[in-house]
Amino acid sequence: MADKRSPNERIKEKSRYLRGTIGEGLTQVETGAIADDDTQLLKFHGSYMQDDRDIRPERAKKKLEKAFSFMIRLRLPGGVVSSQQWLKLDDIAEHQANGTLRITTRATFQYHGIIKSNLKRAMQAINDACLDTIAACGDVNRNIMSSANPFLSPVHAEVADLSRVISEHLLPKTSAYHEIWLDGEKVVDEGGKAKKDSEPLYGEHYLPRKFKIVLVVPPDNDADIFAHCVGYIAIVEKGKIVGYNVTVGGGMGMTHGDEDTFPRTADLLGFCNPDQAVAVAENIMTTQRDWGNREDRKRARLKYTIEDRGLNAFRKEVEKRLGAKFGKPKPFKLTHNGDTMGWRQGTDKKWHLTLFVENGRIKDVSGWSLRSALREIAELGVADFVLTGNQNLVIANIPAKSKNKIEKILKSHGVALGATSAMRANSMACVALPTCGLALAESERALPGLITKLEETLEAEGLRDDAIVVRMTGCPNGCARPYLAEIGFVGRNPGLYNLYLGAAFEGSRLSKLYAQDVSEDQALDLLKPLITQYAKERNEGERFGDFVIRARVVAATEVSNQFHKDVKRVND
């Protein structure tokens, strides 16, 4: 019978638990690349092979190999690094990568531009900082993101701890990572067959596709709970976590022109006690392992399993494996999916400064030396650093007496404490060009300028301090969760975007396509009058995303899978 499984299934199967020929590939000096199959396996180790797309045409003209380099993504459940770790991570940016640290939309760091000969050194330096990159990418449970800042209260700390415990529990057990990157002892026999390795949770085929878990502490939805395969909403009574509402089946990725693929907001599966939380994660994941689509990778995420098999059948199966029934979800209220910027005091009286980091890129540019400022702050040794899922940074645990010093350091490097508008503070863009191999249009390099142009209208309408969530991605994969933005730009072609409107400010409702293939100028022409109309006609406290629905600019996406329904494009 024909093997209908996707090619990735075979690559995993013959990889000897994620080894492939990665080790050999690293030693081949005649190319900056590694073998094709190994590029798939490398992801499970937290790294992607990429090339500099800005210089692709020039290299091709000169008949040169592409300018290959590697991206590394850290596994950082809870998103915290100490000052000592910060200094080590900053050194890696300087010596092995392209001089920048990039906070991702899932609250970890990425490095870009690491050439092959530096890859192992960078991995070892990450290990020296007591961090790793295992399972940061690939068909496994990815990095777990939780509501930012575990230092805010004991509840936040408990949730961050749970993210670390689940992350450890669901880690692949193969020793390939230690063997390849840390020169660990080999556990394969002479025939090249794995001797001791096994994957009790995953098996040799791992998962059908990536798998993502997040946790939030209401009212903050800063981890965008409805965008992920699995979510935990902490239910807090009298200052204590009594359990979690569990969500399943969220996801953003889709393919332009293919309505069988769609972003989907997660459904509530049920309520579990704190001591069931780890087993719940395991049983949801193993159900997806066994039920997920292994033939078509475009429909292999958990959200499609839920669509195809139904939420009730899925719940029943998880309950069977768990040996317990979920309770009825408890009431909860989420109020925003952005970050609370500026100074905040924790219950232990320590101070925390949430700093806006435009699109998460920590670098030094003329007049704005963010990277140097943060290094100087880390050198003081008085703070921890927490990454947020909105690509921002909390400088945490600051004693009252060091607040001024920290502000002074930032100022001396030209770093402002806040963004130029509440819209910018609530903006995110994915990496896209030049490193992302899937980008169809600019994103990180385009959004800041576009927001500057929108700020003229915001200023004129008195809306500079009104938060409107704006997100951009260079393709429909949705890495900056654009379909959960009140204004979303999604790249279609160089310079052209689809414009989506109408997601809920607190992240519970998807947006709707408003205009297709618009240039930046066309988008501005469409958006500016809407912003003016919003300023004039909004009800008290009404959010932009809700207003465009009430004003019949777009229809609401009320049901999780109705993203492509009721679309009436303005430029049809």
Binding mask 240-259 for ligand SRM (x = CB under 6 A): -----------xxx------
Residue 108 partner contact from ligand SF4, ligand SRM, none using kind-dependent CB cut-offs of 5 to 8 Å: ligand SRM
Quote the least distance from Cβ 474 to ligand SRM, whole Å: 9
Is 286 an interacting residue with respect to ligand SRM (CB under 6 A)? no
Distance between CA atoms of residues 561 and 572, nearest Å: 23
Is 477 an interacting residue with respect to ligand SRM (CB under 6 A)? yes
Quote the least distance from Cβ 429 to ligand SF4, whole Å: 8
Is 67 an interacting residue with respect to ligand SRM (CB under 6 A)? no
Are 319 and 312 spatial neighbours (Cβ–Cβ below 8 Å)?
no
**Could you count the other beta carbons within 10 Å of the beta carbon of residue 362?**
22
Q: Which residue has the tokens 């975007």?
A: 497
Both structure tokens of 118: 């530096």
Which of 148, 479 has the CB closer to ligand SF4?
Answer: 479
For the chain, the residue count is: 572
| Number of residues forming the site for ligand SF4 (CB under 6 A) | 13
Quote the least distance from Cβ 262 to ligand SRM, whole Å: 10
Which of 287, 477 has the CB closer to ligand SF4?
Answer: 477
Q: Which of residues 428-467 bind ligand SF4 (CB under 6 A)?
A: 430-432, 436, 438-439, 443
Is 425 an interacting residue with respect to ligand SRM (CB under 6 A)? no
Query: Helix, strand or coil for residue 347?
Result: coil
Is 270 an interacting residue with respect to ligand SRM (CB under 6 A)? no
Is 502 an interacting residue with respect to ligand SF4 (CB under 6 A)? no
Q: Which of residues 287-316 bind ligand SRM (CB under 6 A)?
A: 301
**137, 229, 272, 475: the active-site residue:** 475
Which of 292, 478 has the CB closer to ligand SF4?
Answer: 478
Distance between CA atoms of residues 124 and 132, nearest Å: 9
Handedness of CA 35, 39, 40, 41 (dihedral sign): positive
**Could you count the other beta carbons within 10 Å of the beta carbon of residue 275?**
8
Q: Which residue has the tokens 């009574």?
A: 237
Which of 431, 454 has the CB closer to ligand SRM?
Answer: 431
Quote the least distance from Cβ 192 to ligand SRM, whole Å: 28
**Could you count the other beta carbons within 10 Å of the beta carbon of residue 540?**
4
Distance between CA atoms of residues 417 and 422, nearest Å: 13
Quote the least distance from Cβ 439 to ligand SF4, whole Å: 4
Q: Which residue has the tokens 């301090």?
A: 465
Contacts of 180 (CB under 8 A, 6+ apart): 19, 22, 23, 26, 45, 120
Q: Is residue 210 annotated as a catalytic residue, yes or no?
A: yes
Pairing label, strands 230-237, 213-216: parallel
Is 473 an interacting residue with respect to ligand SF4 (CB under 6 A)? yes
Both structure tokens of 374: 């943060």
Contacts of 36 (CB under 8 A, 6+ apart): none
Beta bridge partners of 268: 247
Are 350 and 156 spatial neighbours (Cβ–Cβ below 8 Å)?
no
Contacts of 251 (CB under 8 A, 6+ apart): 212, 227, 228, 229, 263, 264, 301, 302, 303, 478
Q: Is residue 289 annotated as a catalytic residue, yes or no?
A: no
Are 507 and 337 spatial neighbours (Cβ–Cβ below 8 Å)?
yes
**209, 375, 430, 509: the active-site residue:** 430
Binding mask 429-468 for ligand SRM (x = CB under 6 A): -xx---xxxx------------------------------
Residue 475 partner contact from ligand SF4, ligand SRM, none using kind-dependent CB cut-offs of 5 to 8 Å: ligand SF4
Is 104 an interacting residue with respect to ligand SF4 (CB under 6 A)? no
Q: Which of residues 326-365 bind ligand SRM (CB under 6 A)?
A: 360
Is 474 an interacting residue with respect to ligand SF4 (CB under 6 A)? yes
Q: Is residue 14 annotated as a catalytic residue, yes or no?
A: no
Quote the least distance from Cβ 431 to ligand SF4, whole Å: 5
Is 143 an interacting residue with respect to ligand SRM (CB under 6 A)? yes
Which of 114, 472 has the CB closer to ligand SF4?
Answer: 472
Q: Which of 370, 353, 352, 350 is nearest to 361 (CA)?
A: 370
Q: Which residue has the tokens 């052209």?
A: 496
Q: Which residue number places its CB atom closest to ligand SRM? A: 253
Q: Is residue 272 annotated as a catalytic residue, yes or no?
A: no
Residue 249 partner contact from ligand SF4, ligand SRM, none using kind-dependent CB cut-offs of 5 to 8 Å: none
Residue 174 partner contact from ligand SRM, ligand SF4, none using kind-dependent CB cut-offs of 5 to 8 Å: none
**12, 19, 106, 212: the active-site residue:** 212
Q: Side by side, which strands form the sheet with 109-114? A: 47-51, 68-73, 109-114, 101-103, 361-362
CA distances from 274 to 232, 234, 238, 324, 549 (A): 10, 9, 15, 14, 38
Residue 301 partner contact from ligand SRM, ligand SF4, none using kind-dependent CB cut-offs of 5 to 8 Å: ligand SRM
Quote the least distance from Cβ 430 to ligand SF4, whole Å: 3
Q: Is 104 left (phi over 0), alpha (psi -120 to 50) or beta?
A: beta
Is 488 an interacting residue with respect to ligand SF4 (CB under 6 A)? no
Q: Which of 361, 352, 436, 423 is nearest to 391 (CA)?
A: 361
Q: Is residue 401 annotated as a catalytic residue, yes or no?
A: no
Distance between CA atoms of residues 241 and 161, nearest Å: 13
Q: Which active-site residues does the annotation give?
A: 73, 142, 210, 212, 430, 436, 475, 479
Q: Which residues bind ligand SF4 (CB under 6 A)?
A: 430-432, 436, 438-439, 443, 473-475, 477-479
Applying CB under 6 A, which residues contact ligand SRM? Answer: 48, 50, 71, 73, 104-106, 108, 110, 142-143, 210, 212, 224, 227, 251-253, 301, 360, 430-431, 435-438, 477-481
